Copies of this chain bind each other. A is one copy, B any other.
Amino acid sequence: MSVTTPRGFRSAGIAVGLKSTGKPDLALVVNDGPAPASAAVFTSNRAQANPILWSRKAQQAGPARAVILNSGGANCFTGDFGYETTRLTAEAVASELGEPDPERVLVCSTGLIGTGDQAFRDKILGGVPRLAAALAADDTTAPAAILTTDSVEKTAVRAGDGWSIGAMAKGAGMLAPGLATMLVVITTDALLDGEALDRALRAASATSFDRLDSDGCMSTNDQVTLLASGASGIAPEEHVFAAALSEVCDELAAKLQADAEGAAHDIDIEVRGAASEAEAVEVGRSVARNNLFKAAIFGNDPNWGRVLAAIGTTEAAFDPYQVDVSFNGVRLCHAGAPDRPVEECDLTPRRTHVLIELFAGEAEATVRTNDLTHDYVHENSAYSS
């Protein structure tokens, strides 16, 4: 179970032929209340898919009643026709649910940019009645229907005191901040209003999804939706809920990192001693995006010089000749000069920890990334679904 772990939710996932493989490609999550509330965060890419344009507007119209998600096509840069497809999709779902306002239905899409033609529309609209008929409070089929190149379903749950949180996510490439490329639906039966949900979701995203930078590429379709049903009748303290939500988001971010396309190492870049948290993130991100660093990790080469070269491109406060850099617990660079022999460092485990100590302040942050591998190049030079 995932999004149906909290009470007050039903979900379903079916195949409508968007994926050439015939695998499930259409999912629906419905919030049955009794006290529906919602919040959502969207990609910060200025090029935004039609579902983002729709959902961003719809989210203002009132608490979302449902989220429909398709894989097998991004419906991005598909013109007015594509936007109309999104609107018709929301209308179809609203009609099935007896909901008079289609703007209470959010839409998410993922897949190839430019995909969103008549066949795409027909398959989705034709599938909605069957999707609605499959809705169940004990559903386990939704998480698979939102996957693209993902190799595993990604779900997370947390239990509170009489309430719970459930979540599903997809994302395996184009993972970069301002949300990584991901679709996430999080549900809870806690009793919270939209403003509290919004605060908690923004805070949790900022330190989880926004610090996942697998390949530096920001998607046009990212959306994280949080739905609350209130079905538990319990209103947790906001900070308690926020902490649980952060745990869920962090777990999902780690699962997205672990399933990144073609990756052979999951790299946590921990930056300590920064002048501010923002600078810690900037430094971590500059290393996470450095192809030479990422290729070196693939080759099990603890190339600290490339780390320093990457830090040098930032505006963060630091003295290049005061920096320490450690790989998997071995300090290879001290005060900007070689320290322990690189032979002492073992990079063969998949999990890789890079610690950068700037000695410029007290702030810290960890950015998650992956290495640059042959498989990444292969998968992304051949990607077409």
Question: A162 in the interface, Cβ–Cβ < 8 Å?
Answer: no
A340 contacts across to B, CB distance below 8 A = none
Interface of A is mostly: loop
Contact A338 B378 (CB under 8 A): no
Contact A174 B320 (CB under 8 A): no
Question: A310 in the interface, Cβ–Cβ < 8 Å?
Answer: yes
A47 contacts across to B, CB distance below 8 A = 308-309, 311-312, 320
Question: A284 in the interface, Cβ–Cβ < 8 Å?
Answer: no
| Residues 284-320 of chain A, each 1 if its beta carbon lies under 8 Å from chain B, else 0 | 0000011110011011010111101111111000001
Residue picked from A74, A216, A295, A382, most chain B C-beta under 10 Å: A295
Given A174-B292, A296-B381, A79–B313 Cβ distance below 8 Å? no
Question: A217 in the interface, Cβ–Cβ < 8 Å?
Answer: yes
In the complex the two chains form, what is the Cα distance from A172 to B232 in whole Å? 62
Question: A376 in the interface, Cβ–Cβ < 8 Å?
Answer: yes
Contact A380 B45 (CB under 8 A): no
Which A193-241 residues sit within 8 Å CB-CB of chain B?
215-220
In the complex the two chains form, what is the Cα distance from A318 to B212 in whole Å? 27
Question: A242 in the interface, Cβ–Cβ < 8 Å?
Answer: no
Which A343-385 residues sit within 8 Å CB-CB of chain B?
372-374, 376-378, 380-384
Contact B377 A290 (CB under 8 A): no
In the complex the two chains form, what is the Cα distance from A28 to B304 in whole Å? 30
Selected from B113, B174, B372, the residue in CB contact (under 8 A) with A308 is B113
In the complex the two chains form, what is the Cα distance from A114 to B304 in whole Å? 9
In the complex the two chains form, what is the Cα distance from A46 to B312 in whole Å? 4
Question: A78 in the interface, Cβ–Cβ < 8 Å?
Answer: yes
Contact A292 B173 (CB under 8 A): yes
Contact A377 B382 (CB under 8 A): no
Residue of B nearest to A304 (CB): B114
Selected from B291, B337, B381, the residue in CB contact (under 8 A) with A77 is B337
Contact B290 A217 (CB under 8 A): yes
A335 contacts across to B, CB distance below 8 A = 79
Q: Interface residue tally of chain A, by bracket?
A: 35 or more
Residue of B nearest to A113 (CB): B305
A165 contacts across to B, CB distance below 8 A = none
A304 contacts across to B, CB distance below 8 A = 113-114
Question: A276 in the interface, Cβ–Cβ < 8 Å?
Answer: no
Contact A296 B380 (CB under 8 A): yes
Question: A336 in the interface, Cβ–Cβ < 8 Å?
Answer: yes
In the complex the two chains form, what is the Cα distance from A178 to B314 in whole Å? 12
In the complex the two chains form, what is the Cα distance from A372 to B216 in whole Å? 14
Contact B299 A381 (CB under 8 A): yes
A244 contacts across to B, CB distance below 8 A = none
Contact A217 B310 (CB under 8 A): yes
Selected from B215, B216, B220, B309, the residue in CB contact (under 8 A) with A220 is B309
Contact B220 A312 (CB under 8 A): yes
Question: A333 in the interface, Cβ–Cβ < 8 Å?
Answer: yes
Contact B215 A292 (CB under 8 A): yes
Nearest 7 pairs of A and B residues by beta carbon: A113-B305, A299-B381, A47-B312, A295-B380, A79-B337, A45-B312, A47-B320
With A295-B377, A298-B377 known, 11 other A-B pairs at CB within 8 A are A46-B312, A47-B308, A113-B303, A114-B305, A114-B338, A215-B291, A216-B289, A218-B312, A295-B380, A296-B380, A299-B380
Q: List 12 A–B pairs whose Cβ atoms lie within 8 Å, in order of A's numbering.
A: A45-B309, A45-B312, A76-B305, A77-B320, A82-B337, A174-B292, A216-B290, A218-B313, A220-B309, A220-B312, A296-B381, A301-B383
